[in-house]
Structure 1
Amino acid sequence: MLDFCQSSDLDCHNHDMSSDIQPSAHTYKSRWNISVTNLMKDLDHFRVSSKKLIGTMKSNISQCQIIHSCNKITGLISTETFPVDEISGNFVRTVKNCIFSKSIPTPLKGPLKLAALSKVVIEEILDLDMAVTHSSDFLQFISGGRLLPGSVPLAHRYGGHQFGFWAGQLGDGRAHSLGQYKNRKGDVWELQLKGSGKTPFSRSGDGRAVIRSSVREFLCSEAMHSLGIPTRAVVLRLAKSWFRIGSLEILAESGEIDLLRKLLDFVINEHFPSIKANDPDKYLVFYATVVNETAHLIAQWMSVGFAHGVCNTDNFSLLSITIDYGPFGFMESYNPNFVPNTSDDEGRYRIGAQANVGLFNLEKLLVSLSPVLSQKQQKEAKHILKGYVDIYQMRIHQLFKAKLGLLGEETNDGFLIAFLLQMMEDTQSDFTMTFRQLSEASADQLHIMCNICLKPFWFNSYVSKSSGLTICDALDLTLLYLFKACVKLLLGVNPRYVLRNWMAESAIQKAEMNDFSEVELLHHVLSFPFVTQETAEEAGYAARPPQWAKGLKVSCSS
């Protein structure tokens, strides 16, 4: 991203989407304009810290000297939590025996323009007054031109399995962690720049992020947050942690077992408070938690038709949040073989294979944990892994029951869900709108559908199951009205708007001409995905892709 910077909301919140009433201007005002009491009016008092990661840093050179020191940090005395790369500089190299390398961002050249941001992040997470975002200091800080007070910029070393094969050292090739910020709520967030220049882990093409990928990632991270799916944001991006499966893999593969244990202890102590530090089975409990949460995350992806596109182990968070948005895609017509990534020739990461890929990645995580597990614990861990499929199937069953409003627990629920999905596949039905239109159907429409539906068995069974009534009773319009009242709840489950690739492409084309109006429009629309919005309907955001977008492709470089 060469000329704009942005941030996004991660802290999940609840939406009251039980009604499809058009939001008014007042709705937007109350959503985006919160109290600014006690918010910082300037950046002089905004400080971050890397103390938990690399210890206390003391410097005998000024911040100005650090920034203009040809990507070298000199004169630093460190009491380290994690060992830091002994070599300075952003030149590409093999890094050993550390978690991080110090790496100074490379400032952008030319005039800067703030193109998009999340007001909720600025005010509710970073405790800043929105007026701060209009200052030149803010633009400099989030574009890598200046360092935040307390910041020691770091690039994270990790490895990973890519498309099923061990790729060796990977790491942050165009990202710099600025430090952790503890806000007034007591929450700790790690700030990171993306597209902020080369690091020791930069590969071909790394260093900067183009507008195209930045717009897609910003909008999708905001969309996923509003859909209630754990995620994080860019380009000044925030997360509770950036550690991923690959963070552990690189240490296990390199035989750095003491450092592996140290990183595991840190992650558990910081992010898994229910696991006791003195528990002899703490690594086993940690693994069981990651297995469970990974299954839940992928089930959530599937429930909204989201295909990640590149489910490599280096893209799977240890906290089971959605990271590294690349060639993702929200499925249009229901198709288990939907592949959003044109670079995925074999369809390894097709949407229908995501659960299996999650299992593969968890197998690799277990391999990485094996050096710190006893033989008995390794055996138990393998048993835990076998439970992944059941956890996933249980969760996906729950989510699709909720999408269809199926009450209770009956043996034929799974059959009804599978039957509908097969119908959708046969008829190439739009995934998002099929569930939404079932939620929005009137009692009269349901009655007509019941009589003329080409698959009356499924529909009658569905009406009966959803309402808890017999098939005959369900045909009565009065009882169907009661059914519709129940289905109203589905409006808060089935979104009307998701970030379809053609929508992102339309915004990107304008953004590349320095027009960010559609980025802003999509940001607002996707922040209320369950509410019918006039501007979104006029733009066709709930419709099939326009003709010009039929052959739209997305690659790893998009």
Structure 2
Amino acid sequence: MAMAELYFVLRVIVSDDDVWRDQFYNGNFMKERGKILNMYWVFQDDFLSVVVSETAQLIALWMSVGFAHGVCNTDNFSLLSITIDYGPFGFMEAYNPDFVPNTSDDEKRYKIGNQVNVGMFNLHKLLQALSPLLNPRQKQLAAQILDHFPVLYYIRFRELFKAKLGLLGERESDDDLIAFLLHHFWALRKISEHELFPVWVSQYLLRLESNTNDSDSKRRKRMASVNPRYVLKNWMAESAVQKAEMNDFSEVHLLQQVLQRPFQEHSAAEKAGYSSPTPSWAKDLRVSCSS
């Protein structure tokens, strides 16, 4: 339905209190049982399943664009599986599973490569809080649902990276294609020099041939729609902040325009170097909750 597509849901709330209603807006007020009509209801057996599934999908999305939340405490995770309270966040400047944008995270608890594990930990804490409300059958079911989290995450993660590579359908070799890239992203500039890279390219091209009803132009268009050209790297935000402190908000406005359409090439963004390698002065730039 249209409302659902717009991410709106309605709820039913019933009260024993009578309230004044003007049903036809003709001035004829009368008392009736208080009620709010609803078209959606979250069943108790589905609640945890939905939260676990959508949390897995959210973290997979984070990882697909190199986003590190920075402070993945339980209170900074949402039951709605939306990204909240991410003050000291950051996008990876270069591939590094140990990337930590938060200056106060000395132990690297919330490093980007640990976000999946932290998500699982937070869901365990949610289940722990809900346990007093559950009967034995529900507790057993909840544990089974939670155990499925890693699988749900990997399924979504795999889907996202297949889309990034322009792959359609299912092939056994897909996992190998993705794994090679992820393993060697740390040396992306030298990946073409890897002894197995020609083999990977051959396998990739062969895999593309199995895309039914596809063409290079269609594939490029799909890939461009899921591989953002621009993300808000810390150096970009820092540059805008420095100018704003001098009462120059031009870069703030530029970032607003660019990040509204991160998949599209923007001439001013190209001139500013937003799609180029990170400047040397910002290689180790990190932020805090008060940044």
TM-score range, shorter chain: 0.7 to 0.9
Q: Deviations over 1:176-207 (max 9, x none)?
A: xxxxxxxxxxxxxxxxxxxxxxxxxxxxxxxx
1:493 to 193, 202, 226: 226
TM-score, normalized by length of structure 2?
A: 0.82
Contact 2:93 2:283 in 1 (8 A): no
Q: CA deviation at 1:290?
A: 0.3
1:326 has 2:87 as partner: yes
Greater relative contact order, per chain length (Cα 8 Å cut-off, separation 6+): 2
Q: CA deviation at 1:518?
A: 1.0
Task: Quote the residue 1:407 is aligned against.
Answer: 168
The 10-residue stretch of structure 1 (313-322 or 330-339) with the greater mean CA deviation from structure 2: 330-339
Q: What one-letter code is carried by the residue in structure 2 that aligns with 1:305?
A: G
1:313 has 2:74 as partner: yes
Contact 1:453 1:459 in 2 (8 A): no
Q: Deviations over 1:272-319 (max 9, x none)?
A: 92424xxxxx1x321111001100100011111111010001000110
Task: Quote the residue 2:207 is aligned against.
Answer: 465
Contact 1:333 1:428 in 2 (8 A): no
1:557 has 2:290 as partner: yes
Q: Distance in 1 between matches of 2:242 and 2:189?
A: 28
Identity value in percent? 56
Q: Distance in 2 between matches of 1:304 and 1:460?
A: 26
Task: Quote the residue 1:379 is aligned against.
Answer: 140
Q: Deviations over 1:406-454 (max 9, x none)?
A: 122111211110101122123468xxxx9xxxxxxxxxxxxxx8x9997
Contact 1:310 1:349 in 2 (8 A): yes
Q: Distance in 1 between matches of 2:98 and 2:208?
A: 29
Contact 2:163 2:222 in 1 (8 A): no
Q: What one-letter code is carried by the residue in structure 2 that aligns with 1:525?
A: V
The number of equivalent residue pairs is 261
Q: CA deviation at 1:488?
A: 2.5
Q: CA deviation at 1:467?
A: 3.1
1:518 has 2:251 as partner: yes
Q: Distance in 2 between matches of 1:401 and 1:427?
A: 18
* Structure with greater helix percent: 2
Q: Distance in 2 between matches of 1:388 and 1:528?
A: 31
Q: Distance in 1 between matches of 2:38 and 2:278?
A: 41
Contact 1:407 1:465 in 2 (8 A): no
Contact 1:335 1:428 in 2 (8 A): no
Q: CA deviation at 1:484?
A: 4.8
Distance 1:270 1:460, change over 3 A: farther
Q: CA deviation at 1:547?
A: 2.3
Distance 1:326 1:524, change over 3 A: same
Q: CA deviation at 1:336?
A: 1.2
Matches within 5 A, 1:464-483: 464-468=206-210, 482-483=215-216
Q: Distance in 1 between matches of 2:125 and 2:194?
A: 51
Q: Distance in 2 between matches of 1:353 and 1:404?
A: 24
1:369 to 109, 112, 130: 130
Task: Quote the residue 2:31 is aligned against.
Answer: none
Q: Distance in 2 between matches of 1:294 and 1:286?
A: 12
Distance 1:510 1:390, change over 3 A: same
Task: Quote the residue 2:235 is aligned against.
Answer: 502
Q: Distance in 2 between matches of 1:351 and 1:548?
A: 22
Matches within 5 A, 1:74-153: none
Q: 5+ residue gaps in structure 2?
A: 7-11, 18-35
Task: Quote the residue 1:275 is aligned against.
Answer: 42
Q: What one-letter code is carried by the residue in structure 2 that aligns with 1:316?
A: F
Q: Distance in 2 between matches of 1:271 and 1:555?
A: 42
Distance 1:272 1:297, change over 3 A: farther
Q: What one-letter code is carried by the residue in structure 2 that aligns with 1:457?
A: V
What is the CA RMSD across the aligned residues, in angstroms? 3.0
Q: Aligned to 1:322, what secondary structure does the other structure show?
A: coil
Q: What one-letter code is carried by the residue in structure 2 that aligns with 1:426?
A: A
Task: Quote the residue 1:335 is aligned against.
Answer: 96
Contact 1:404 1:466 in 2 (8 A): no
Contact 1:342 1:555 in 2 (8 A): yes
